[in-house]
Amino acid sequence: MIILDALLFSAIQALANTPLFVGERLLTGVADLFGGIILIVIGILVIALIIAAAIILLPAIIVAVVVWFLTGSFFYAGIAFLVVALQGIVAVADD
């Protein structure tokens, strides 16, 4: 009787950690696949937006660096950056 109890107890312990049907494992795999695809798409969109913003702001960054080297003032460089950045954003918005 003790051997039967030990066998049944080990079977119950083994089944407690496994799904009782195959569908649970299948649904988990599909959810992981779709979740991974969605995260990859979101990552690509974020990278594309960062690159687009850097391209639009590149002239403003260059002007700010030149003004900073010529004047040595971060204040004037900041003003130059804002002016050129606003011009670039307005130019892109008009298209």
Residue 14 in any domain: the answer is no
Whole-structure pTM value: 0.55
Residue 48 belongs to a domain: yes
List the one residue out of 61, 56, 51, 54 whose CA is nearest residue 81: 61
Cα three-residue angle 32-33-36, rounded to 5 degrees: 80
25-75 pLDDT, tens per residue? 655 777 778 888 998 999 999 999 999 888 888 999 999 999 999 999 999
Q: How confident is the model at residue 23 (pLDDT cuts 50, 70, 90)?
A: low
Domain containing residue 71: 19-94
Task: Determine, yes or no, domain membership for 28.
Answer: yes
How many folded domains does the chain comprise? Answer: 1
9 located within any domain: no
**Domain for residue 64, yes or no?**
yes
Task: Please give the C-alpha separations between residue 17 and each of 20, 21, 32, 86, in angstroms, as whole numbers.
Answer: 9, 12, 20, 60
Q: 35 in a domain, yes or no? A: yes
Would you say residue 8 lies in a domain? no
Which residue shows structure tokens 């107890």? 9
77 in any annotated domain: yes
